[in-house]
Homo-oligomer: A and B are copies of this chain.
Amino acid sequence: MTSPTREWTAESLAAHYVEVRDHTERLAAPLSPEDQTVQSMPDVSPTKWHRAHVTWFFETFLLQPHEAGFAPFQDTYWFLFNSYYEGVGPRYARAERGLVSRPGAHEVGAYRANVDERMRALLDRLDDGTVDKLAPTIELGFHHEQQHQELLLMDIKHVLSRNPLQPVYGGRPAASTAPGAIGWVDVEGGLVEIGHDGAGFAFDNELPRHRAFLEPYRLADRLVTNGEWLEFMADGGYERHDLWLSDGWARVQSEGWRAPFYWTEVDGVWFEHTLHGTWPVDPALPACHVSHYEADAFATWAGKRLPTEAEWEHAVALHAADDPAGSLDRSASWHPSADLGAEADAPRVRQAFGDCWQWTSSAYLGYPGFHPPEGAIGEYNGKFMSGQMVLRGGCALTSPGHARLTYRNFFPPGARWALSGVRLADGGAPSEVGR
């Protein structure tokens, strides 16, 4: 599942466990029992399901094999809160998670408390040898829960968007500054290496580190903005079939796309549904909640293209202006906000991690030599390597400490409810027009 991890001790594991688990509860705190129950589409899960499922992970993969005299908190939870691990047993149908009113939000809280208590007891008893043995799975549990923290926020954003009362989760719009024109970061390419190098945690799909050959290319130094998206729209972007992939054009027509997902036009003004309410679209912020099809059409319209994931990773490794370990710690802001400070001497890759996930032109497939781990945990990533596109970076809803250079996020090309935006790429030679 994972590469060798950092040096864990029983104490640091216990401390980090509390931190991650508490963060989930803080995110859910503004939500009523009713909010936590609704599933607004099959891709979305109810808040209380997220809270329970991440708990089920610790109960199943840590307590069951390692707790003396293990018995599940509730037999039935076993079935209800398994998400996709076929190897663990039958699963409750994903699209029907919103039909289950019980256990309620409060009972899920009791489940969490019970597993936390038992996990604490387990961690208390670990000696040094056992720490090394269990740390990879525990750390996977941390990152798994962080993934669901981000999904919890994306999902409740969708749930609240379906309510004509336009309810608010919390927060307020960020101040923004209009960015300058896109600058271009030149990258030499050649035979480069990408993928996780073995230091620190990584999911299995980031392995193995391997070589790839890149022609010279250029990468935009910032994300496409709402203002630029409005230009695309004004220029007939959603009406011109020649800009679109065939599947994308079919969706434009069947679903009536004419703007990013959460935008609504009222009397000629575009508004955007956000977690802090419905606000006029801010042209300075990065365009977000666009599908891969829209990202590709925009790039074609702009005479550019989307980067491959290897191009993205290699350029960010060389030229990143914001540091994933540092600047991401802004959990208070779940709106996209640009980190576009004073211009440096040469263009650098900015907005890599903290605003929107960035669609690449790469299909989500296994790296050369990839093979998933044995057992149910091996179902984590590999079986989804079909029909999806890779996104890189991170977004304003990504949990602190969760993003990293080699992270491979993925969604189907038509998905729009995630915080997905666009960074353009271009061929290195002036005469070359990308796709």
Give the contacts of A19-70 with B (CB-CB under 8 A): 32-38, 40, 48
Most buried by B among A33, A105, A210, A214: A33
The reply to whether A372 and B34 form a contact with Cβ atoms under 8 Å apart is no
A365 within 8 A of B: yes
A147 within 8 A of B: no
Cβ of A385: which chain B residues have Cβ within 8 Å of it?
Answer: 245
The reply to whether A38 and B101 form a contact with Cβ atoms under 8 Å apart is yes
Among listed A158-166, A223-231, A257-265, A279-287, interface-contacting one = A158-166
Among listed A246-254, A338-346, A348-356, interface-contacting one = A246-254
Residues of A whose CB lies within 8 Å of any CB of B are 32-38, 40, 48, 76, 79-80, 84, 86-87, 92, 96, 98-105, 159-160, 162-165, 167, 191, 210-215, 241-242, 244-249, 292-293, 296, 308, 361-363, 365-366, 368-372, 379, 382-387, 413, 427, 432-435
Cβ of A213: which chain B residues have Cβ within 8 Å of it?
Answer: 191, 211-213
The reply to whether B435 and A33 form a contact with Cβ atoms under 8 Å apart is no
The reply to whether A80 and B165 form a contact with Cβ atoms under 8 Å apart is yes
Cβ of A379: which chain B residues have Cβ within 8 Å of it?
Answer: 242
Q: How far is the CB of A344 from chain B (nearest CB, A)?
A: 29
Cβ of A382: which chain B residues have Cβ within 8 Å of it?
Answer: 435
Copies of this chain, how many?
A: 4
Cβ of A159: which chain B residues have Cβ within 8 Å of it?
Answer: 99, 101
Q: How far is the CB of A411 from chain B (nearest CB, A)?
A: 13
Contacts A215-B369, A248-B386, A434-B371 given; does A101 touch B242 at CB 8 Å: no
Closest 10 A/B residue pairs (Cβ): A363-B363, A371-B435, A34-B101, A33-B33, A86-B241, A34-B104, A99-B162, A35-B101, A246-B383, A245-B386
Cβ of A215: which chain B residues have Cβ within 8 Å of it?
Answer: 210-211, 368-369
The reply to whether A435 and B366 form a contact with Cβ atoms under 8 Å apart is yes
The reply to whether A163 and B383 form a contact with Cβ atoms under 8 Å apart is no
The reply to whether A34 and B33 form a contact with Cβ atoms under 8 Å apart is yes
Complex Cα gap A244–B210 (Å): 25
Cβ of A35: which chain B residues have Cβ within 8 Å of it?
Answer: 101-102, 104
The reply to whether B242 and A87 form a contact with Cβ atoms under 8 Å apart is yes
Cβ of A104: which chain B residues have Cβ within 8 Å of it?
Answer: 32-35
Q: How far is the CB of A324 from chain B (nearest CB, A)?
A: 27
The contact sample of 26 A-B pairs, CB cut-off 8 A, is A32-B101, A32-B102, A34-B36, A34-B101, A34-B102, A35-B101, A37-B101, A76-B165, A86-B241, A86-B249, A92-B164, A96-B162, A99-B159, A102-B163, A102-B167, A212-B213, A213-B213, A215-B369, A244-B383, A245-B385, A366-B435, A369-B434, A371-B432, A371-B435, A382-B435, A387-B413
